Amino acid sequence: MKTKIIILFFFSSVFLFGCKDEVQPERTGEMEFVFRNKVNTLPLAQNVGKYSNALGEDFVVTTFNYYLSNFELVKDDGSVYTIPKDESYFLIRGNDGTTSDFAISNIPEGDYVALRFSIGIDREKSMSGVEERVGDLDIVDHADMYWSWNPGYIFMKLEGTSSKAPESPSGDRIFRYHIGGYGGYDQETFNNIRTAEINFDNTKAILREDKTPRLIVGANVAKLFDGVNTISIESNPTIMFAEKSIEVADNYEKMFVFDHLHNF
């Protein structure tokens, strides 16, 4: 009898402590993000579609890649959920649909009204050790999106052909915009990291454990030529690590637009 009481006492105290310590875990869910490359209202047909910019310069896009990072979701009460930094680097490649359609999990349940992200890679990660550059940041796997001679990621790479671009010895007429620059590791240089905010147009992404909203964002390549700055292929067929790149960065800041949202 005595032992029974002791055992009972022992267990009850365990339960008691157990209840005291237990914090109701926050319920989380998943959200899907889709980035669709466009030329104004039309889907971008890479390699085949012929378009023209506001200056009337024709162009075909052969490469259109960009780095997005540091995703944040804004709730309808104004509070912000920041995706853990290392889970929040995405390289979108125009010729690889698997890169432009991805899900992020472990997001707290809520009604979200906006998405914020950076275009580019922050200074801390840009200067980090090689062991911290994994996945989409691997500088060997994605060497085409990285300058090795002046280390830094290429935030946005647009290449294509245009009759306005100068003829190369092989007869091609190619324009190349490789835009990067995180500010310099010891000497201050330009910073082409930009932030975009996508408001869900008075709708809400209803995110629950069992409800996964799907957000579609448009990336309008035409804005790179015709944004806050006008970029001429004829005048600037090549823009890389130079001051002119700031004008392109100011254009890509406004390149991303809300397209639509699915709630399930």
Partner 1 sequence: MPKNLITNNPYSFIMVASMLILAPIFFIACDDDDAPPPLSISFEQPSHFPEPSYHFDKNPVTTAGFLLGKKLFYDGKLSRDGSISCGSCHIQAAAFAHKDHDLSHGVDDLLGTRNAPAIQNLAWRNSFFWDGGVHDLDLLPLSPIENPVEMDESPATALDKLRNDDEYPAMFEAAFGSEEITSTRFLQALSQFMTTLVSANSKYDKYLIGEQDLTTDELEGLQLVEEKCASCHSGVLFTDQSFRNNGLPIFFLTDKGRALITLKTEDEYKFKVPSLRNIAVTAPYMHDGRLWTLADVLEHYNTGVQDHNTLDSILKQGGNLGIALTEQEKSKIISFLHTLTDQEFLENRVFAEF
Q: Which residues pair with 68 in a beta bridge?
A: 90, 119
**Integer-rounded Cα radius of gyration of the chain:** 24
Tell me whether residue 138 or residue 259 sits nearer to partner 1 (CB atom): 138
Alpha-carbon span 118 to 153, nearest angstrom: 13
247 touches partner 1 (CB under 8 A): no
Using CB under 8 A, which of 111, 141, 159, 259 touches partner 1?
A: 141
Using CB under 8 A, which of 43, 49, 151, 166 touches partner 1?
A: 151
Alpha-carbon span 107 to 73, nearest angstrom: 9
Choose the stretch contacting partner 1; rule: CB under 8 A; options: 7-15, 97-105, 123-131, 156-164. 123-131
238 touches partner 1 (CB under 8 A): no
Kindly report the CA angle at 189 between 186 and 136, in degrees rounded to 5?
A: 85
Tell me whether residue 38 or residue 142 sits nearer to partner 1 (CB atom): 142
202 touches partner 1 (CB under 8 A): no
Q: What are the residues whose beta carbons fall under 8 Å from the beta carbon of 175, sequence distance 6 or more? A: 59, 158, 159, 160, 161, 162, 164, 165, 233, 237, 238
Using CB under 8 A, which of 22, 77, 131, 210 touches partner 1?
A: 131
Choose the stretch contacting partner 1; rule: CB under 8 A; options: 11-19, 48-56, 86-94, 236-244. 236-244
Q: 152: closest CA among 187, 117, 125?
A: 125
Residue 242 C-beta: closest distance to partner 1, Å: 7
Q: Which of residues 68-97 bind partner 1 (CB under 8 A)?
A: none
List Cα–Cα distances, 86 to 125, 134, 136, in angstroms.
9, 9, 11
Q: Supply φ then ψ for residue 66, to 5 degrees.
A: -155, 150
Using CB under 8 A, which of 34, 63, 173, 190 touches partner 1?
A: 190
Tell me whether residue 137 or residue 207 sits nearer to partner 1 (CB atom): 137
Q: Is the dihedral of CA 202, 203, 209, 212 positive or negative?
A: negative
Choose the stretch contacting partner 1; rule: CB under 8 A; options: 28-36, 149-157, 162-170, 254-262. 149-157
Tokens 């971008």: give the residue.
44
Tell me whether residue 93 or residue 223 sits nearer to partner 1 (CB atom): 93
Residues near partner 1 (CB under 8 A):
127, 129-131, 133-134, 138-141, 143, 146, 148-151, 184-187, 189-190, 241-243
